[in-house]
A and B are shown apart, each in its own frame.
Chain A
Amino acid sequence: MGPLKWFKAKIGSEVSDIPIVSIFSSRPWWLELVLLGLFGLYAVFFAPMHQVLLGAEGMFQGLLVIVTGLLLGPWRGALLSGVIGYFSGYLWAQFYPSSFVGSALLSGAVGMGFGWLGDLLRRAAAQSRELKKAHQALQAAEGRLKQTEKLVFMGELAASIGHEINQPLTIIHMGGELAIRALSQQNLDKVHKNLNLIVGQSERAGKIIHRMKLLAKKEGTKTYETHQLNQLLDIAVKLVAEQLRLESIEVEMNLTSEPTPVHCDSVQLEMVFTNLLLNAKDALSKAPQKRIILSTCHRDGKIVTDIADTGEGIPAELMDQIFLPFFTTKEVGKGTGLGLSISNRIIESHGGELHATSAPGKGSVFSVILPRYHAA
């Protein structure tokens, strides 16, 4: 028994119980060979075209035809694919009472369908793996971005904090010197006075450090919580108070007396407000009247914070560039050009908006609009 007959007999015996007409056994062997040749021709010349036209990739038959055709030459390729196509067609012929070529075509179509579906599933799985990877990378990048942003802001604050903390340190140092000197002179009143001074100034230094800690806290913990926006503004004003004082800038606070709950990362919002206040400070450097007006109010379920200055304003032609990264009008070494773009990103990530309006010569207003938090 040749391999072809053995195969036919085996498959035939396994499916012969199925009560659907098998058309195979009714045809003489030579007709089978002719059909085999025809199907081979179809498989070599038409099926690949079919499949290309359908745009289906990764289909077993088409690939087989092309590969065997290339490796063995068109005739042998046709024969081999014909054999396989024939047997898959033969199998299908057991189930469908149709002609041999028809069933072979049907098997091809079903094969194509499965190939296509398999391909689709594989791609979807690969895509989902890629998405998961990208999501993880994005989360890691976001964490690093937050840290970098914090460093940018801390850097801008560091100079001011350094100056601020040096004042009590100087007084403590001198107080100590004077107390030692007074002790050697047995002047206990003076010793007492200087020691009291040292205690008071240590507390002052401690308060400055405590404010800095507010910005540095919550590393790697859950950061979104409900906070009162008015309180965050208060902290931000205190953080830059020394810089504003050195520039003789007055701060007016018109904060709403209603509660101002926002669901937020408080450190990030403090950074935004600090940044906007320092920008206002820079805008006021040459202004005749140096004033920052800070106000909060409720509007359409949102909380609006306006930070207005009486500075020189922003020229109209620059207004659409101020939120772009690295855009700055400050001299080299003074500003990174990142403050407003980072602030904008932070506010957007809180579901809010950051707007700027400016009247050249009169001043600018930066508005932070955040959704009011409603407890569930």
Chain B
Amino acid sequence: MKILIVDDEEQIRIMVGEFLENEGHQILLAVNGSEGLETARRESDGLNLIILDNKMPVMSGLEMLQTLRKEGNQVAVIIVTGHSEMDEETLIRHEVRGLIEKPFSLETLKNLINENKSR
């Protein structure tokens, strides 16, 4: 799978990236919503999944997701949040595939990705 990881915390980007690479995925990285949006637009066809942090400077995860959906991009998205920042309605409206709360384990993330692969 080609996976885009959008997170403003460098260490999280690196660790999740390396872990998923070891699992055999192709990884792209972005430091905020704005950069993530550009990458997602550029990779519009080949991209399978975005792991999207919500709270970020410049552009939040939710803003990036709203823009993507407005542009008709239906790529699968797993949202990473600190605490219950998003209600269920927002998640359904933007067709979010999964929600993962910080702090989370790499195993949980792996399972969530595998569930999505089989869908």
Complex: A175 Cα to B102 Cα, angstroms: 14
Find out whether the CB atom of A167 lies under 8 angstroms from the CB atom of B12: yes
Given A172-B103, A246-B55, A166 contacting B15 (CB threshold 8 A): no
Whether the pair B57, A174 counts as a contact (CB closer than 8 A) is: no
Bound Cα distance from A174 to B11, whole angstroms: 10
Given contacts A163-B83, A171-B9, A248-B57, contact A178 B106 (CB under 8 A): yes
Map CB proximity to B onto A158-180 as digits: 1 under 8 Å, 0 otherwise: 01001100110111111101100
The tally of residues in B whose CB lies under 8 Å from a CB in A reads: 19
For A174, the chain B residues whose CB sits under 8 A away are: 12, 15-16, 19, 105-106
A178 touches B82 (CB 8 A): no
Which of chain B's residues has its CB closest to A167's CB?
B9
A86 to B20, CA, bound (A): 112
Bound CA span A177–B111, Å: 15
B103 and A170 form a contact (CB under 8 A): yes
Least CB distance, A202 to chain B, in whole angstroms: 13
A87 nearest CB across to chain B (Å): 86
Residues on B with beta carbons closer than 8 Å to the beta carbon of A201: 11
Answer whether residue A245 sits at the interface, using C-beta atoms and an 8 A cutoff. yes
**A348 sits at the interface (CB 8 A):** no
Are A166 and B57 also in contact (CB < 8 A) when A171-B15, A178-B15 are? no
Distance in angstroms from B69 CB to nearest chain A CB is 22
User: Are A178 and B19 in contact, CB atoms less than 8 angstroms apart?
Assistant: yes
Q: CB-nearest residue of chain B relative to A162?
A: B83
**Cα A173 to Cα B104 with chains together (Å):** 7
Complex alpha-carbon distance, A197 and B58, angstroms:
27
- Give the complex CA separation of A245 and B58 in angstroms: 9
Contact at B56–A166, with CB atoms within 8 Å?
Answer: no
Cβ-based interface call for A234 (8 A): no
Q: Which residues of chain A from 167 to 217 have any CB-CB distance to chain B below 8 Å in the complex?
A: 167, 169-175, 177-178, 197, 201
Asked if B107 is an interface residue, CB under 8 A from chain A, the answer is yes
Which residues of B53-69 are within 8 A (CB) of A?
55-58, 60
A166 touching B102 in the complex, CB below 8 Å, given contacts A245-B57, A248-B57: yes
Q: CA–CA, A245 to B8, complex, Å?
A: 10
Q: Which residues of A (227-243) have their CB < 8 Å from a CB of B?
A: none
In contact, B15 and A175 (Cβ under 8 angstroms): yes
CA distance A169 to B58 in the complex (A): 23
Q: Tell me how far the C-beta of B32 lies from the nearest C-beta in chain A, rounded to whole angstroms.
A: 9
Q: A167-B12, A170-B12 are in contact. Are A177 and B105 (CB under 8 A)?
A: yes
Does chain B have a CB within 8 A of A247?
yes
Given A163-B82, A166-B103, A178-B106, residue A248 in contact with residue B58 (CB < 8 A): yes
Give Cα A246–Cα B12 distance, bound, in whole angstroms.
16
Complex alpha-carbon distance, A170 and B106, angstroms: 10
Residues on B with C-beta less than 8 A from A245 are 57
Q: Which of A299-342 contact B (CB under 8 A)?
A: none
**How far does the alpha carbon of A248 sit from the alpha carbon of B8 in the complex, in Å?**
12
Would you call B105 and A173 a contact (CB within 8 A)? yes
Instruction: Add 9 more A-B contacts to A166-B103, A178-B19 (CB < 8 A).
Output: A166-B83, A167-B12, A167-B102, A169-B102, A170-B12, A174-B12, A174-B105, A174-B106, A177-B107
19 sample A-B contacts, Cβ–Cβ < 8 Å, listed by A number: A163-B82, A166-B82, A166-B83, A166-B102, A167-B9, A167-B12, A167-B102, A170-B103, A173-B103, A173-B104, A173-B105, A174-B12, A174-B15, A175-B15, A177-B105, A246-B56, A246-B57, A247-B57, A248-B57
Closest 10 CB pairs of A and B: A169-B103, A163-B82, A166-B102, A170-B103, A248-B57, A173-B103, A166-B82, A170-B102, A174-B15, A171-B11
